[in-house]
Amino acid sequence: MLLKGKLGVMLISFLVVMNVVFCGYAIEGDEEKQVITEQGEKTQDIADVEIKNKPEYSGLIEKLRDKKTKIRLDAVRELNRIGKEEIVCFLIDAIGDRKGVIQLESIAALGEIGGREAVDAIIEKGLTDKNKKVRLAAVNSLVRITGRSAIFPLKEHLLIEKDSKIRFRIINIFAVIGNDDVVSVLIESLNDSSLKNRLIAVNTLAIIGTPLAVSALANSLENEVNREEVSLSIIKTLGTIRSRDSVPVLIRMAAIRGKSEINKAAVESLGIIGDKRAIPVLNELSGYGDIRLRETVKEAINKILTKNALIRLRKRRSLQNK
């Protein structure tokens, strides 16, 4: 017992020492990363100073400091024509110009030239500028440089962007280059203050079309925050993409009381999907509601029965051919 007690104490002491050692390494590792980052920034600053001291750029530097907007604008355009990545530092400085037109030209030029330094400046300065036109230009240049990688900074920016037109642009970009990485932020956009943006978020999730995106659409139907226009759009979209996974929620939407337009849209989508799980509820619905709903229910049942009959026929013929 005594030996076990001593071994236990020794083991605990060993673990404590190792914990301190590993923690020490972790702290040293973090400090080392910070030092490396700071060294990288200093190296970049030194490189920028060296570039700015090159004789061939001295005239452009003077022009960028000129009081006249036209002269500063011409300097930015000249830098864009030069197109070398080393002149990015001048364009980054020009983002902070007091004239919006020069800011816009600078960000557009950065989008043409590209590079890591340009991307960082567009995110840190362009996306955070007070001028909404500058922020919109930053979004476009960011996509131009980074392509699909723009998803990550834009996903964060969408949540804080106040201008509905810029949010609309970002959601549209997600429709083109989006994937499951943007589904969570698009779900947030279903509650956007702009109806136009809520509807484009629905379409974007449908275009992405992954199980996660479709599931997000189906789940959002039962969210009370959604207005009827958005709910109708989601229901029709789920029918258009023939999402069998959404059948349970569409059945609930078809049976919900006091929402005739939603009932009708859900029934139509169930008919398009053609899943026979909807038949029992549709049979119940055929006995009440207005004449339009009853007619829609009848059509949906016929579509489902026809589709399933065709499936059985194809299976029978396939077995016969074997």
- CA–CA dist 234, 218 (Å, integer): 8
Class in CATH terms, 60-176: mainly alpha
- CA 172/CA 168 separation, integer angstroms: 6
Homologous superfamily of 242-322:
Leucine-rich Repeat Variant (1.25.10.10)
pLDDT at 24: 40
pLDDT in tens, 175-213: 888 788 899 899 889 888 898 999 999 999 988 888 888
pLDDT at 257: 82
- pLDDT score at 55: 66
DSSP track, 70-94: HHHHHHHHHHHHH--GGGHHHHHHH
pLDDT at site 51: 61
Per-residue model confidence (pLDDT) at position 250: 94
Which tokens sit at 321?
Answer: 């051919």
Residue 28 pLDDT: 45
* pLDDT tens-digit series, residues 114-143: 999 999 999 999 999 999 999 999 999 999
Domains 178-239 and 242-322 share a fold: yes
Q: What is the pLDDT of residue 313?
A: 66
pLDDT score, position 139: 96
- Extents of the domains making up the chain: 60-176, 178-239, 242-322
Residues in the chain predicted with pLDDT less than 50, given as ranges, are 1-47, 225
Domain 178-239: which CATH class? Answer: mainly alpha
